[in-house]
Amino acid sequence: MPTTRATTNDRSAVRTLLRLWPHVRAVRARLVTAAFVAIVASCVGLVIPLVLKWMVDGPVADRDPAGVWLGALYLLLLGVAEALLFGLRRWLVARPLSGVEAGMRATLYGHLQRLPVAFHDRWASGQLLSRGTTDLMLLRQFLAFPLTFLLVNGVTILVGVTIMLLQDWTLGLVILVPAVPVVVTCVVFEKRYARVARLAQDQVGDLTTVVEESVLGIRIIKGFGRHRSQARAFRELSRTLRGTELRKAGLLATIFGVIVTLPELAIGAALVLGTVRVADGSLSAGTLVAFLSTALALRWPVDSIGFLLAMSQEAATATERYFEVLDEEQEDSGRSGVPRSRDSGLRFHDVRFRYPDAPDGSPPVLDRIDLHIRPGESMALVGATGSGKTTLTALVPRLHEITSGRITLDGEDITAMSREELRAKVAVAFEEPTLFSASVGENVLMGAGERAGAAELNRALSVAQAEFAHALPQGTDTQVGEQGLSLSGGQRQRLALARAVVGRPRFLVLDDPLSALDVHTEAAVEAALRDVLAETTALIVAHRPSTVLLADRVALLSGGRIAAVGTHHELLRGNAEYAHLMSGAQEAEDER
């Protein structure tokens, strides 16, 4: 869940919606043309009452059948023209706005890929999904309909009222009486509906998060028999969302009651007054028919004000939520002018790290880290749980940004490199492997360049002892399913290791990559991994003595600082904390 949610108390819907302009600029010609066509169509509809006036005061009064048939033909032609024009408007906007929606979704997705890990740690995935799906659908609907018809209906009402006043200003003033209370109601409605609309859309994001987590965690839910508690949580969120939607419906019912009832009463009063005037001869029957027909033609533009305002507020909220993500700062591409160090290999220079959202005054997770891994050397990183090992490894590929200090690769500050260049040099494998809904081969080759093929894939699978992939139903073309849950934990971890080594990286960062393997498989992987480590510079988070022995040297991380550096045997003899950690790991390994 995001830690902050924008409030709508001081938000201007118009100013918010104007932020969409860069995205619709390419289709503005079509939107303007569609609005013009819709205005013409509405004005054509307002000509129909004038034809009725001519028919009633002319052919009908004169008992002229030919004139009546001619008038009927005019009405038919006007009706067909109105329908065709509205059809043309829909054709003009449908395809380009679908393109706008797709482009905005692609922009959002691309931006999410470039946001730092700290952002994704803060935000619930369901909130991001709802912004990329429901919110963008609302924006497309707004651009296709309310945006145009707020203008079209405004022009139609203005032209229609002008026609009525020209026909008879007394009856026109009667029709205008409800204008003030309707406008006041719309202003009050807009402010209240904006708050409820924002709340509802945030609650949709919360509900999406629960559904996603329940689907991904279905094995845990079933394994611990928590389906009832999860269902209860889902029902509570659904009930909350239902209550919010009912509040929205109540507000809509209120505004509809006002903007439908008051104009209808005004039309009724105009009908009574007009009938009296026709009876005493001060008003022609044709004028009364035309006046009332024009008033009835304006019912739709007036009645639609409520839901057009509602859709506009929902679109403004969706725009606000969309740009909340886009306004987040991306990872910078690298700083120019950073001096190059003479050090080679991987080096940490007085590195400090504190999480961006950590309370003020809290101690850093990592403090004054000075560590040098020489070219071609493998260094194991050992420490108690919570000492900061995983955080330290995440700093190398810049999954997190250091608070102060420097990290250099072959003397070059990593902040001076583009992320693309940095991550082409550094490969990573995490303790909790993530696989995508793709084939085994595609998952592994994500760690290599575009030219990598079967030879590189087979080599990487061999190093990671993941030849089981060839025995799968479709071999390396087998789809592993979402999160790779169709595979065992050890299989997923071996594929993640294969992905890390497939590109023959210059620098390799491994976060306890063998934790899910059995003893025999671990030994086979370690034997194959030694050849890979001989060709690269590696930092390996290790908990087992067998993994530590893969490395040339060991660094002990304690309390966020490097407490000791040396070979495994040196630290075992000379550092009590290290000896204690290794003895515990060895005992656990022996018990296993």
* HEC assignment per residue over 109-161: HHHHHHCCHHHHHHCCHHHHHHHHCHHHHHHHHHHHCHHHHHHHHHHHHHHHH
Asked if the structure places residue 543 within a domain, the reply is yes
What is the C-alpha separation between 539 and 383, in angstroms, rounded?
14
* Same domain membership, residue 320 and residue 351: no
* Same domain membership, residue 301 and residue 248: yes
Residue 454 class from Cβ within 10 Å (0-12 exposed, 13-18 middle, 19+ buried)? exposed
pLDDT at residue 1 in the model? 45
pLDDT at residue 338 in the model? 53
pLDDT at residue 343 in the model? 58
Q: How far is CA 110 from the centre of its chain?
A: 10
Residue where a domain terminates, one of 269, 298, 326: 326
Asked if the structure places residue 104 within a domain, the reply is yes
What is the C-alpha separation between 381 and 553, in angstroms, rounded?
9
Per-residue pLDDT of the chain (592 residues; tens, 9 = 90+): 444 444 445 567 888 888 888 888 888 888 888 888 888 888 888 888 888 888 887 877 778 788 788 888 888 998 898 889 888 888 888 788 888 888 899 999 888 888 887 788 788 888 888 888 888 998 888 888 888 888 888 888 888 888 888 888 888 888 888 888 888 888 888 888 888 888 888 888 888 888 877 776 776 677 767 778 888 888 898 999 999 989 988 888 888 888 888 888 888 888 898 888 888 888 888 888 888 888 888 888 888 888 788 888 888 888 999 998 988 887 665 555 555 555 578 999 999 998 877 787 788 899 999 999 999 899 999 998 888 888 899 899 888 888 899 999 988 999 888 888 888 888 888 777 778 878 888 888 888 766 667 888 888 888 888 888 888 888 888 888 666 667 777 888 888 888 888 888 889 888 877 776 777 777 777 787 787 888 889 898 888 888 888 889 999 999 889 999 999 999 998 889 988 888 865 444 544 5
Residue where a domain terminates, one of 273, 296, 326: 326
Asked if the structure places residue 222 within a domain, the reply is yes
What is the C-alpha separation between 293 and 48, in angstroms, rounded?
8
CATH of the domain at 306: 1.20.1560.10
Asked if the structure places residue 142 within a domain, the reply is yes
CATH of the domain at 394: 3.40.50.300
* Same domain membership, residue 227 and residue 78: yes
Task: Residue 213: count other Cβ atoms within 10 Å of its Cβ.
Answer: 17
pLDDT at residue 586 in the model? 47
pLDDT at residue 334 in the model? 53
Q: Are the beta carbons of 342 and 403 closer than 8 angstroms?
A: no
* Same domain membership, residue 288 and residue 377: no
* Same domain membership, residue 390 and residue 252: no
Task: Residue 486: count other Cβ atoms within 10 Å of its Cβ.
Answer: 14
* Same domain membership, residue 240 and residue 358: no
* Same domain membership, residue 80 and residue 151: yes
* Same domain membership, residue 457 and residue 554: yes
Distance set, CA 238 to CA 212, 232, 287, 311, 506 (Å):
15, 10, 55, 22, 51
Asked if the structure places residue 6 within a domain, the reply is no
Asked if the structure places residue 121 within a domain, the reply is yes
* Same domain membership, residue 41 and residue 169: yes
* Same domain membership, residue 427 and residue 304: no
pLDDT at residue 189 in the model? 85
pLDDT at residue 342 in the model? 56
Q: 351: closest CA among 371, 335, 329, 334?
A: 371
What is the C-alpha separation between 558 and 258, in angstroms, rounded?
69
62 CB-near residues (< 8 Å, 6+ apart): none
Asked if the structure places residue 334 within a domain, the reply is no
What is the domain count for the chain? 2
* Same domain membership, residue 351 and residue 321: no
**Assigned token pair, 411:** 């003397």
Range of the domain at 261: 16-326
Q: 412: closest CA among 400, 431, 426?
A: 426
* Same domain membership, residue 350 and residue 320: no
Asked if the structure places residue 530 within a domain, the reply is yes
Residue 4 dihedral angles phi and psi, to the nearest 5°: -130, 145
**Assigned token pair, 426:** 């550094």
